Chains A and B, each alone.
Chain A
């Protein structure tokens, strides 16, 4: 195991940020912590990177104990915090050199690992980090977290606030790093990114709701989901919520995801109900469960 977490808890004053959490990440695995702000993701990262003591429980990272061997862990992990934490008044190149030097290495020695990413920001290597765009800051931060060739890479919400194009590119970079044998623990509030991980933990209010592969997690959803659409989204949501047999009603892109309380649900009945409510251009069709559906069901 590359990361082992056993019954970790952490409380800040009267808020339990992490509540008895356990999980393992295998060597070379891309593991995702999926959950909204306030779920406890950052606290877990800070405990695993030896920046914060847990109140209870044990954690092992790259075969080192997070308390006894904290110095060794710091040499063997890379950490990209959610908040941009590089030196704003050093240039791109100076930041990278600085991080290489503190870890007792050079840019040249591990250039191979960062090359793909660094070439994209190299044209701006004399620019101060504070003057970079969001996407470029993120790439520089990743380079700095990688420059000492860590065994385990911790990425805390690397794609939050990032547009879909840059997000896609970022995940492609992660896949390439994973092929080089680096274990990656990544957190995200974007449920669609969960599908790109080998395994995920769904987390909310300091607790893990479920751990499995993205493919397995959706199979545990208890209901058949239907896509429903009419001309007026707002009215449709109101109508479906007033339908006595509804189990859940959630807007999902251009459709509403609808589930029914009854096991023998007949879509034609719902069609008739919507017609009576003056809905037009009614579409009702079965659809696949997504991780977001599962998350919402578990988080209810």
Chain B
């Protein structure tokens, strides 16, 4: 991890009518950092994330993601980030191979690049036996691992993960986090939301949103000190319950 900021957010705000979903949030995320983005349901996480990935225009404030401005260059942001959510990941009625080819094409990779990436992925994840299977027939854990790798096909500077491990069994959940560590170690920034508070501990820094504002932001260790709590779960309960 070095000191270059790949996400810079200042007073970012999003209003829907007279409802302020995101209320003047400011933070920075460094290159290669694993940044946990936590908050209760309805606290504004998804709205904030949508602005950062360039699919929702902020009401006010400023944000640069991968050196591009969310107001003026949202399309460049999309090319330089990866995104994976629990809800939409891969096409169930395409095979693993077809999904890789499709997403590689969407990200603008050449046939040769796609071919190379696919071989690499098959090797790394041990997909030899399932590469021609329909994604819909695979266990959730596999889908999530493949989906994560697909979101990294175009070597993005930042990968956004929206509750990537929901419902996944505990062993796969840990294998998934090992993939996250490896990715961050290679210099890709990881921006992740989760409801598993043990996963919050795996992050380099964690921010906690309450009612549209970031109420806490620090390393898990410092947050626990600050809130005199033993676990991140206790920190979260103290903050969000007021």
Binding site for B on A (CB under 8 A): 35-39, 133-135, 157, 160-168, 189-192, 204, 233-234, 237, 250-254, 292, 295-296, 299-300
Contact = CB atoms under 8 A, between A and B. Distances in A.
B30 to A, nearest CB: 16
A133 B198 contact: no
Contact of B167 (A160, A165, A300): A160
Interface of B: 39-43, 139-141, 163, 166-172, 174, 177-178, 181-182, 184-185, 195-198, 201-202, 220-221, 231-233, 236-237, 240-241
Given A134-B42, A237-B181, A253-B198, 16 more contacts: A36-B141, A36-B167, A36-B168, A37-B168, A133-B41, A160-B166, A162-B41, A163-B40, A165-B241, A166-B41, A189-B166, A190-B196, A191-B170, A237-B178, A251-B202, A295-B170
A150 B225 CA distance: 46
B182 A163 contact: no
Contacts, number: 94
Which of A135, A160, A165 counts the most B-chain CB atoms under 10 A from its CB?
A165
Given A251-B174, A253-B231, A254-B221, A161 B166 contact: yes
B195 A162 contact: yes
17 contacts: A36-B167, A37-B167, A39-B169, A160-B167, A161-B163, A161-B195, A162-B195, A163-B240, A164-B40, A164-B195, A165-B40, A189-B169, A192-B233, A233-B181, A237-B178, A250-B171, A251-B202
A160 B168 CA distance: 11
Contact of A254 (B139, B182, B201): B201
Chain A contact residues: over half helix, strand or loop, or mixed? Answer: mixed
Contacts of B202: 233, 251, 253
Interface centre among A39, A157, A292, A300 (most CB of B within 10 A): A292
Contact of A165 (B140, B166, B236): B236
B167 A189 contact: yes
Contacts of B240: 163-165
B173 to A, nearest CB: 8
Given A36-B140, A36-B141, A234-B181, A164 B41 contact: no
B6 to A, nearest CB: 19
Contacts of B231: 253
A278 B96 CA distance: 40
A164 B201 CA distance: 15
Contacts of A157: 167
A165 B43 CA distance: 12
Nearest to B236: A164
Contacts of A191: 170
Contacts of B220: 254
Contacts of B178: 234, 237, 251
Contacts of B233: 164, 192
B58 to A, nearest CB: 22
A67 B76 CA distance: 59
Given A166-B40, A234-B184, A252 B241 contact: no
Contacts of A234: 178, 181-182, 184-185
Contact of A163 (B39, B141, B177, B184): B39
A36 B240 CA distance: 27
List the 3 closest A-B pairs by CB distance, nearest first: A36-B169, A234-B181, A37-B167
A168 B177 CA distance: 25
Nearest to B163: A161
B181 to A, nearest CB: 4
A163 B195 contact: yes
Contacts of B196: 190
Contact of A36 (B40, B170, B197): B170
A106 to B, nearest CB: 31
B174 to A, nearest CB: 5
Contacts of B184: 234
Contact of A250 (B40, B141, B174, B181): B174
Given A135-B41, A161-B195, A234-B181, A253 B167 contact: no
A223 to B, nearest CB: 16
* Residue among B169, B237, B240 with most chain A CB within 10 A: B169
Contacts of A296: 170-171
A104 B220 CA distance: 52
A157 B167 CA distance: 10
